[in-house]
A and B are shown apart, each in its own frame.
Chain A
Amino acid sequence: DGGITQSPKYLFRKEGQNVTLSCEQNLNHDAMYWYRQDPGQGLRLIYYSQIVNDFQKGDIAEGYSVSREKKESFPLTVTSAQKNPTAFYLCASSIGLAGGLAKNIQYFGAGTRLSVL
């Protein structure tokens, strides 16, 4: 089945700890995105990548880091510098520039819920 897989579904972080959220896609998409969703709020963009080995900060990148070493993978690390990490994290992908931006449909994974112990 084609799609986006996020793991784990639930994650707990201890104070001072870095944790990494996994996002893998087999849609052959160039573009990948990480969002944070808090209760009652819309999705806020953390980082995005249009191509392998390149990524850009979104609106709330502080305390997070990413890498894009492979086309199909875009892991997100929540560092100890992120003081309020409790949220629902969503990964998405789209075909990217090659498909024409007007036609770019975003597809989402099932999400990872991160809590602080």
Chain B
Amino acid sequence: KQEVTQIPAALSVPEGENLVLNCSFTDSAIYNLQWFRQDPGKGLTSLLLIQSSQREQTSGRLNASLDKSSGRSTLYIAASQPGDSATYLCAVLTSGTYKYIFGTGTRLKVLA
């Protein structure tokens, strides 16, 4: 059974710092991995999707990498800003299923 873990659960950093969020999964047979942002009381916004055949994806200050063999993905945020404060979730779509499995998220606070 696929399990997705995100560490740390919460993170507080000063503005301008580069930071890395981690996502681990137990079954490497996946179609894709997706990173989301969730603001308090809101729905999820898709940030990046990495297909199983890809190693990384970039969008602006965000870079996500995927290492299937080790069951890990990282989300790198460059030059963090207070507006980046939110909860970041990762989700994997396991091969042979149509079900996304979500991690519990990392709650990020960027201090001005």
Contact = CB atoms under 8 A, between A and B. Distances in A.
Interface stretch (B12-20, B69-77, B78-86, B101-109): B101-109
Q: Is the interface of B mostly helix, strand, loop or mixed?
A: strand
Given A102-B51, A104-B93, A58 B43 contact: no
Interface stretch (A41-49, A62-70, A71-79): A41-49
A50 B91 CA distance: 18
Contacts of B61: none
A105 interface: yes
A105 B34 contact: yes
Nearest to A110: B43
B46 A106 contact: yes
Nearest to B51: A102
Nearest to A88: B41
Contacts of B36: 108
B99 A40 contact: no
B4 interface: yes
Contact of A42 (B43, B46, B51, B105): B105
A43 B89 contact: yes
A101 B93 contact: yes
Contacts of A90: 43-44
Given A43-B89, A105-B34, A106-B46, A33 B4 contact: no
Nearest to B89: A42
Nearest to B90: A42
B58 interface: no
Interface in A1-48: 4, 6, 31, 33, 35, 40-45, 48
Nearest to B100: A106
A59 B2 CA distance: 12
Interface of B: 4, 31-32, 34, 36, 41-46, 49, 51-53, 89, 91, 93, 98-100, 102-105
